[in-house]
Amino acid sequence: MDLATIVKALGLKIRHGADLLDRNVTGGFTGDLLSDVMAHSSEGDLWITRQIHQNIIAVASLKDHAGIVLVQGNEPAADTLEKAAKENVPILVSDLSGFETAGKIYEILNVRGG
């Protein structure tokens, strides 16, 4: 499943990475504790979080995530966007809650097939 399909289905706002939407999303992970994300998420995951500070970029980049979705309409901090550009990490914003965002992405990945 490419990132563009998920962006379109959920109406996600693209804050960085309009040119990176052909990336393949193989799964998802929801978490706000960075150690939890480091230990349990996988390469190719779309990471759903409400953390907006710049340290999320290092985590997403080290784990080779497909991108980051910020929930509840939370916008990324300015230095987060700078780092996202440097590390090529797509940053998307969902107006839905974390629960609804994860539910919809889960459905797309598992019902329509990854």
Partner 1 sequence: MTKNVFAHDASLYENRFPVEGGNFDKAGQVSSQIKAILKRMKLSSEIIRRVALVSYESEINIVSYARKGHIHIQVKPDYVLIEAIDEGDGIPDIELAMQQGWSTASQRIREMGFGAGMGLCNIKNFSDFFRISSDVGKGTHLKMVIKIDKVFDGI
Residues that bind partner 1 (CB under 8 A): 32-36, 38-39, 43, 49, 51, 53-55, 57-59, 61-63, 79, 87
Contact status, residue 49 vs residue 71, Cβ threshold 8 Å: yes
Instruction: Give the nearer residue to partner 1 in terms of CB position, either 7 or 76.
Output: 76
Instruction: Give the nearer residue to partner 1 in terms of CB position, either 21 or 37.
Output: 37
C-beta neighbour count of 20 within 10 angstroms: 17
Contact status, residue 48 vs residue 102, Cβ threshold 8 Å: yes
Cα distances from 57 to residues 1, 38, 64, 106, in angstroms, run 22, 12, 10, 22
Exposed, middle or buried: residue 39 (CB in 10 Å: 0-12, 13-18, 19+)? Answer: exposed
Q: Report the nearest approach of partner 1 to the CB of residue 56 (Å).
A: 8
Q: Report the nearest approach of partner 1 to the CB of residue 65 (Å).
A: 12
Q: Report the nearest approach of partner 1 to the CB of residue 47 (Å).
A: 12
Q: Report the nearest approach of partner 1 to the CB of residue 55 (Å).
A: 6
Instruction: Give the nearer residue to partner 1 in terms of CB position, either 79 or 107.
Output: 79
